[in-house]
Structure 1
Amino acid sequence: FILSAVLTVDHSVVDLDAIEALYENRGQPEELEKIRKHRESSEEDDVKLLDKPEFLYELSQIPDFPGRACCMIFQSTFTDGISSVKRKLSSVSCVCKVLLESSGVKEVMGLVLALGNHMNGGSKIRGQADGFGLEILPKLKDVKSRQDNRISLVDYVVSYYLHNVDKNAGTEKSMFPLPEPQDVFMAAQVKFDDLYRDLRQLEQDLTRLKEAQMTVKRITGEKKVETRKTNPNSL
């Protein structure tokens, strides 16, 4: 059952953990040589008593078992690896799309700029700014009202937006004008250096897989092996 699945590189029959266990515990040349000599010098009944060594020997008879196992492991993990990269890129892409295309973002940023220019009205330079650095946004909460220091500039921006900009304020049609905070948080966790490293690793693994695949095909073409049924519990 297991040997047949490995022989045909059928990962749908044997799960990833089993394949990894087989690969990690495969017989080494010295061990296989001892098993071979024991088989040659022992009676058939004695050989059958050695379940694990016998299984390792049967496993070694599969043409290029390590290569086949690597192919199966990669086939099982490649999709997860690509999905992880895609999910991270998607989170960044979605936030960028909202920031670039959402009219709500432009309105909020325009409101912040207008209020900033109004507050700096006494300065000919700072009171006529065409834009501002994003690094000032976290500081808006520190700008307090003179009448009530419990109210920050952030509170005022929100209040002004709801009363003067959002025509659907107070209704089910009212939409949050900025990217969802959780989406922004997830996108901020993405490190492009890590993504580049992950993609490079996948590329290297794929190259090794192609080499292993060619080796399996070559060895299989040179050697025809018959496998017998093995007790599934013999591992």
Structure 2
Amino acid sequence: MSSIHLDMKDIQNAVLNMDNGVVDLETLQALYENRAQNDEIDSIKKHMKSNQDKDDAKPLDKPEQFLFQLSQIPNFSQRVFCILFQSTFHECITSVLRKIEILQRVCKTLQSSEAVLQVLGLVLAFGNFMNGGNRSRGQADGFSLDILPKLKDVKSSDNSTSLLSYIVAYYLKHFDEDAGKDTSLYPLPEPQDLFQASQMKFEDFERDLRKLKKDLNGSCIYITLNLLLLKYSIINQFFLKCGCC
């Protein structure tokens, strides 16, 4: 907190009027994270009260003075929470949507691309051919997806090429009419998309969305309460001026 050299009036203006001209969001984040908790404020108030009428009263240290002044800003914690949430909401929801779009794009390509079916068909055909004469593998047909990363490890008898390289060469020769041309298209999902999709976990999506929902609900509650308090205050002032109270 000692690194924050700001006038309390500037902080109050930023919090009450959502004005980040002097106090930026990074500073508000630091103030929010280091704000005094209720028990700390109670201790500060107790100290102030016990020293109120003493001639040798010991004043609060600067950090305690600063924290107490922050606590005197109306609804400081709730207001700053809403300001910070507003500033990060779009970025957070955009990040989630971007990941979902990548996942959808990869799934769509894998499900509907003829080229993907051709590549997998080659893996199946060559795999079945190789297993056909292998009694130790039960001359089994078909393959599981976990075999795909291992294709590069299956070598030819002279160790000059791998099954993966052979399948790629075969595909380019027999299926890709534009092989070697600028018009040739990569037959599988983009490697970067595929890698990102492989790192995604539905638990992470659920966690991120739960947090967004929780913070959004919290902001709505704070805003609603403040509006009700403001409405009550305005109505009360009106009746006072009318002499009804």
Answer whether TM exceeds 0.5 for this pair. Answer: yes
Q: Is the 8 A contact 1:35 1:53 kept in 2?
A: no
Corresponding position: 1:18 with 2:14? no
Per-residue CA deviation, residues 40-60 of structure 1 (Å, 9 max, x unaligned), is xxxxxxxxxx9x948954x55
Per-residue CA deviation, residues 106-141 of structure 1 (Å, 9 max, x unaligned), is 111111112223334458x97794x43212212322
Question: Could you say what secondary structure the match of 1:188 adopts?
Answer: helix
Gaps (5+ residues) in structure 1?
40-49, 225-235
Corresponding position: 1:176 with 2:176? no
Could you tell me which residue of structure 2 aligns to residue 93 of structure 1? 104
199-208 or 114-123, larger mean C-alpha shift: 114-123
Q: Is the 8 A contact 1:63 1:216 kept in 2?
A: no
1:141 to 152, 173, 185: 152
Question: Could you say what secondary structure the match of 1:174 adopts?
Answer: coil
TM-score by length of 1: 0.73
Cα pair distance change 1:156/1:55, threshold 3 Å: closer
After TM superposition, give the deviation of residue 87 of structure 1 in Å.
2.6
Question: Could you say what secondary structure the match of 1:194 adopts?
Answer: helix
Question: Could you say what secondary structure the match of 1:108 adopts?
Answer: helix
After TM superposition, give the deviation of residue 166 of structure 1 in Å.
0.6
Q: How do residues 1-235 of structure 1 correspond to structure 2 at under 5 angstroms?
A: 1-10=10-19, 14-26=23-35, 28-31=41-44, 53=65, 57=69, 59-122=70-133, 129=141, 131-146=142-157, 148-223=158-233
Cα pair distance change 1:174/1:137, threshold 3 Å: same
Give the residue type in structure 2 aligned to 1:159: A
Cα pair distance change 1:66/1:126, threshold 3 Å: same
Once residues 105 and 206 of structure 1 are traced to their aligned partners in structure 2, the CA distance between those partners, rounded to angstroms, is 42
Task: Tell me which of the two structures has the higher relative contact order, counting C-alpha pairs closer than 8 angstroms and 6 or more residues apart.
Answer: 1
After TM superposition, give the deviation of residue 91 of structure 1 in Å.
2.5
Give the residue type in structure 2 aligned to 1:4: N
Cα pair distance change 1:223/1:18, threshold 3 Å: farther
Q: What number of residue pairs does the alignment pair up?
A: 213
Q: Is the 8 A contact 1:19 1:69 kept in 2?
A: yes
72-81 or 5-14, larger mean C-alpha shift: 5-14
